[in-house]
Amino acid sequence: MDVTNNQFVLNKFGFLGSDFADEIQKHAIITNIKGKTEITREGQKNKFVPFLISGSIKVYSLNDGRELIYYYVRPNDSCLMTFSSIFNDYTSKVYAFAEEDSEVLLIPVSVIHEWLIKFPEINRVFYNEYHKRFSDVMNMVNDAVFHKLDIRVLNYIKQQISVTGNNPVKLTHKEIANNLGTSREVVSRVLKKIENEGEIIQTKEGIKLTVNENVRHL
């Protein structure tokens, strides 16, 4: 496959020049990952750093079976936690899960380690990723510490609409509970409360946000 002429690769790495294009053609691959597929897990040795071309990847940790979501990798982004493993024996500290059918560019972690020295300007790509992911994690921490559960549930719904582009969005009460570290019964009560307040509508098609301006800016 001609990786270097892929529009995503040109947009992401074109500024690095022809020598880098030869390197990425030699080492990188583009592949498809089916939705609802685990990509990596905590303790696993990472072989690749994924750059998402299309789809959605959830990055999270597990504690007693409950998920703590750190961020979602969106198109044109990379998994920063996977990248950081190149400085830590390539061992993953998180789980990564393809939420939907996704197309990814995979670059071997060992090769990226070499590129950081050979092509120092590539650091610009990862500085940008650090900025975005740090903001995501800070938002997650602020949400968990300072917001009541009804606000957290509403923010989670907005986040899922932003990630998937769907409103209504298909979400089960159990899924929301697992992702927010609470019980399904509590989430059901909260959803009923915010529905009564006019924030959402629950339908057979999913949960619909009634006012969706600024959703894309979460």
CA dist 207 and 102 (Å) reads: 23
Q: What's the confidence (pLDDT) of residue 74?
A: 86
Helix 149-164 × helix 184-196 angle, to 10°: 80
Q: Which residue has the higher pLDDT, 213 or 14?
A: 14
Name the residue with higher pLDDT: 193 or 1. Answer: 193
Give the pairing of strands 206-209 and 200-203.
Answer: antiparallel
* DSSP-derived secondary structure for 23-90: HHHHH-EEEEE-TTEEEE-TTPBP-EEEEEEES-EEEEEEETTEEEEEEEE-TT-B-HHHHHGGGTTT
pLDDT digits 0-9 by tens, 119-175: 999 988 888 878 777 777 777 676 665 568 888 899 889 988 988 888 999 999 988
User: Where do the domains of the chain lie, and which CATH numbers do they carry?
Assistant: 7-119 (2.60.120.10), 145-209 (1.10.10.10)
Query: What average pLDDT does the segment 62-78 reach?
Result: 83
- Give the model's pLDDT for residue 157: 93
- CA gap 198, 194 in Å, rounded: 6
Question: Cβ(102)–Cβ(55) under 8 Å?
Answer: yes
Decide if 43 contacts 93 (C-beta within 8 A).
no
- Between 40 and 83, the more confident residue is 40
Global confidence as pTM = 0.69
Average model confidence (pLDDT) across the chain: 86
Percentage of residues of the chain with pLDDT beyond 90: 43
Predicted confidence band of residue 97 (pLDDT cuts 50, 70, 90): very high
